[in-house]
Protein backbone atom coordinates (compact mmCIF):
# COMPACT_ATOMS: atom_id res chain seq x y z
CA UNK A 1 0.00 0.00 0.00
CA UNK A 2 2.77 2.44 0.93
CA UNK A 3 4.66 1.68 -2.30
CA UNK A 4 1.57 2.41 -4.41
CA UNK A 5 1.03 5.71 -2.55
CA UNK A 6 4.72 6.65 -3.01
CA UNK A 7 4.47 5.82 -6.73
CA UNK A 8 1.35 7.94 -7.11
CA UNK A 9 2.96 10.86 -5.29
CA UNK A 10 6.03 10.60 -7.50
CA UNK A 11 3.94 10.48 -10.69
CA UNK A 12 1.92 13.51 -9.60
CA UNK A 13 5.10 15.41 -8.77
CA UNK A 14 6.71 14.52 -12.11
CA UNK A 15 3.58 15.49 -14.00
CA UNK A 16 3.37 18.81 -12.14
CA UNK A 17 7.00 19.59 -12.88
CA UNK A 18 6.76 18.48 -16.50
CA UNK A 19 9.96 16.45 -16.19
CA UNK A 20 8.66 13.85 -18.62
CA UNK A 21 8.67 16.40 -21.43
CA UNK A 22 10.37 15.30 -24.67
CA UNK A 23 11.79 18.82 -24.95
CA UNK A 24 13.48 18.46 -21.59
CA UNK A 25 14.91 15.08 -22.54
CA UNK A 26 16.45 16.72 -25.63
CA UNK A 27 17.83 19.53 -23.49
CA UNK A 28 15.55 22.22 -24.97
CA UNK A 29 14.31 25.11 -22.87
CA UNK A 30 11.09 23.50 -21.65
CA UNK A 31 9.32 26.81 -20.99
CA UNK A 32 9.75 28.10 -24.54
CA UNK A 33 8.73 24.71 -25.99
CA UNK A 34 5.57 24.64 -23.86
CA UNK A 35 4.77 28.24 -24.81
CA UNK A 36 5.11 27.47 -28.56
CA UNK A 37 3.18 24.21 -28.22
CA UNK A 38 0.43 25.81 -26.14
CA UNK A 39 0.06 28.72 -28.58
CA UNK A 40 -0.13 26.32 -31.54
CA UNK A 41 -2.71 24.11 -29.75
CA UNK A 42 -4.79 27.19 -28.89
CA UNK A 43 -4.74 28.57 -32.45
CA UNK A 44 -5.52 25.18 -33.97
CA UNK A 45 -8.39 24.62 -31.49
CA UNK A 46 -9.83 28.09 -32.15
CA UNK A 47 -9.89 27.47 -35.91
CA UNK A 48 -11.45 24.01 -35.49
CA UNK A 49 -14.15 25.43 -33.19
CA UNK A 50 -14.93 28.27 -35.63
CA UNK A 51 -15.19 25.78 -38.49
CA UNK A 52 -17.48 23.46 -36.50
CA UNK A 53 -14.94 20.60 -36.57
CA UNK A 54 -14.47 20.49 -32.78
CA UNK A 55 -16.37 21.28 -29.59
CA UNK A 56 -15.06 23.29 -26.65
CA UNK A 57 -12.86 21.42 -24.20
CA UNK A 58 -15.27 22.13 -21.33
CA UNK A 59 -18.14 20.44 -23.23
CA UNK A 60 -16.05 17.38 -24.11
CA UNK A 61 -14.69 17.08 -20.56
CA UNK A 62 -18.19 17.29 -19.06
CA UNK A 63 -19.26 14.43 -21.30
CA UNK A 64 -16.25 12.11 -20.92
CA UNK A 65 -14.95 12.81 -17.41
CA UNK A 66 -17.01 9.99 -15.82
CA UNK A 67 -15.46 7.53 -18.33
CA UNK A 68 -11.84 8.62 -17.88
CA UNK A 69 -11.26 6.69 -14.65
CA UNK A 70 -9.11 9.27 -12.92
CA UNK A 71 -7.96 12.86 -12.70
CA UNK A 72 -6.95 14.81 -15.82
CA UNK A 73 -3.46 16.27 -15.34
CA UNK A 74 -2.70 17.45 -18.90
CA UNK A 75 -4.53 18.13 -22.16
CA UNK A 76 -3.29 18.55 -25.72
CA UNK A 77 -5.23 19.34 -28.88
CA UNK A 78 -4.06 17.59 -32.04
CA UNK A 79 -5.11 16.55 -35.51
CA UNK A 80 -4.79 12.82 -36.13
CA UNK A 81 -5.98 10.74 -39.06
CA UNK A 82 -8.00 13.65 -40.44
CA UNK A 83 -9.85 14.48 -37.23
CA UNK A 84 -9.23 16.66 -34.21
CA UNK A 85 -8.63 14.97 -30.87
CA UNK A 86 -8.14 15.99 -27.28
CA UNK A 87 -5.36 13.94 -25.72
CA UNK A 88 -5.84 13.63 -21.96
CA UNK A 89 -3.15 12.49 -19.54
CA UNK A 90 -5.04 10.90 -16.68
CA UNK A 91 -3.77 9.56 -13.37
CA UNK A 92 -5.91 6.78 -11.91
CA UNK A 93 -6.64 6.37 -8.19
CA UNK A 94 -4.07 3.52 -8.22
CA UNK A 95 -1.40 5.92 -9.51
CA UNK A 96 -1.29 4.63 -13.09
CA UNK A 97 -0.71 7.22 -15.82
CA UNK A 98 -3.02 6.80 -18.85
CA UNK A 99 -3.16 8.53 -22.22
CA UNK A 100 -6.69 8.84 -23.54
CA UNK A 101 -7.53 10.31 -26.94
CA UNK A 102 -11.04 11.63 -27.45
CA UNK A 103 -12.63 12.80 -30.71
CA UNK A 104 -12.99 16.58 -30.33
CA UNK A 105 -16.35 16.63 -32.11
CA UNK A 106 -18.15 13.48 -30.98
CA UNK A 107 -16.52 12.82 -27.56
CA UNK A 108 -15.84 9.23 -28.65
CA UNK A 109 -12.88 7.66 -26.84
CA UNK A 110 -10.48 6.63 -29.60
CA UNK A 111 -7.51 5.36 -27.60
CA UNK A 112 -6.90 4.46 -23.98
CA UNK A 113 -3.47 3.14 -23.07
CA UNK A 114 -0.90 3.16 -20.30
CA UNK A 115 1.61 5.96 -20.69
Residue 93, domain CATH: 3.10.450.40
Mean pLDDT by groups of 10 residues along the chain of 115 residues: 46 42 39 57 89 96 96 95 96 97 97 93
pTM across the whole model: 0.67
Q: What is the pLDDT of residue 42?
A: 83
Give the C-alpha separation, 112 to 101, whole Å: 7
Residues 6+ apart with CB under 8 A from 7: 95
Count of domains observed in the chain = 1
Structural domain range at position 59: 2-114
Contact predicate 80/99, CB 8 Å: no
**Which of 87, 94, 86, 105 shows the shortest CA–CA distance to 69?**
94
Amino acid sequence: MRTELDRRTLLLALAALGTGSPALARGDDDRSHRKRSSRHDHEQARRALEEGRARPLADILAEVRPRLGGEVIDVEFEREDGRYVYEFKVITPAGQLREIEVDALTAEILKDEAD
